[in-house]
Amino acid sequence: MSRPEIEVRALHKSFGANEVLRGIDLEIGRGEVVCVIGPSGSGKSTLLRCVNLLEEPTKGQVFVGGTELTDPDVDIDAVRRRIGMVFQQFNLFPHLTVTENLTLPQRRVLRRDKAAAAQVAAENLARVGLSEKAAAYPSSLSGGQQQRVAIARALAMGPEVMLFDEPTSALDPELVGDVLAVMRMLADEGMTMMVVTHEMTFAREVADRVVFMDDGVIVEDGTPEQVIGNPRHDRTRHFLSRLL
Ligand code: ADP
Ligand code: MG
């Protein structure tokens, strides 16, 4: 079997005296979609941020595509280019058009020329169904549209892996579906995805695996039927019962 696309080994992360991740082991295969669920403060965002080294682990190892990110000699910028990240807040540049939001990182980071970057931007805006918004400014878009632009911006960099941190939590309920539909399309296309979410329907229908975290550890890791449908641990049951 080929090596997992994402490998986290014995990962610990402390902020001062606060140990937030207390020994995380996780493997995500190529093309696999893993949803991470758990209560607020359990360490989900910190784990995601350790997977692209936005946070530096205190101990342990992280591998993406076989490259160890936690190796002090690694070219972290080169590895990060292979990892797309989408946050709860869309973080678009307000003074740039939608197209410019997509071309700027391609030109700065990948050194693509203007025409090539514009071409890739157009392709990815089409993928998320927003071709007609190419010349618009973010403030004229709904939250759901802005988040789809943020996803297109990440995709325009050609990532091998996509990380999502509660991508629909800041959206009005009626806008959530369009963003989830784009994520579902990516999953169907075979993208490797790690998704922190409270959207249990999405987790049930799209995830290959669901990971339940509590208090800095992985409590359960299994199929959606196992973890959501038939949780083995009281902590998982308690968490799920509060979502309903
Ligand atoms: P979750 O995403 O599951 O809600 P987080 O990973 O955001 O949890 O946070 C887990 C814990 O780590 C919380 O107690 C939070 O206060 C703490 N924490 C997260 N980021 C930082 C930081 N940059 N500095 C200090 N503490 C942090
Ligand atoms: Mg979080």
pLDDT in tens, the chain (244 residues): 578 999 999 999 999 999 999 999 999 999 999 999 999 999 999 999 999 999 999 999 999 999 999 999 999 989 989 999 999 999 999 999 999 999 999 999 999 999 999 999 999 999 999 999 999 999 999 999 999 999 999 999 999 999 999 999 999 999 999 999 999 999 999 999 999 999 999 999 999 999 999 999 999 999 999 999 999 999 999 999 998 7
Pocket of ligand 1 contains residue 40 by CB under 6 Å: yes
Burial of 2-30, coded b for 16+ CB within 10 Å and e otherwise, reads: eebbbbbbebbbeeeeeebbeebebbbbe
Residues pairing with 15 in the sheet: 18
Residue with CA closest to ligand 1 atom 16: 41
Q: 47, 48, 49, 52: which is closest to 65 by C-alpha? A: 52
Strands (E), the chain: 6-15, 18-28, 33-37, 59-64, 67-68, 83-86, 161-165, 192-196, 209-214, 217-222
What is the reported pLDDT for 1? 59
Pocket of ligand 1 contains residue 41 by CB under 6 Å: yes
Pocket of ligand 1 contains residue 44 by CB under 6 Å: yes
SS3 for 218?
strand
User: Does the interface ipTM go beyond 0.85?
Assistant: yes
Pocket of ligand 1 contains residue 20 by CB under 6 Å: yes
Pocket of ligand 1 contains residue 227 by CB under 6 Å: no
What is the reported pLDDT for 243? 85
Q: Judge whether 217 and 26 are in contact, CB under 8 Å.
A: no
Atom of ligand 1 nearest to the CA of 165: 2
- Give the Å distance between the CA of 107 and the centre of ligand 1: 33
- Give the Å distance between the CA of 40 and the centre of ligand 2: 7
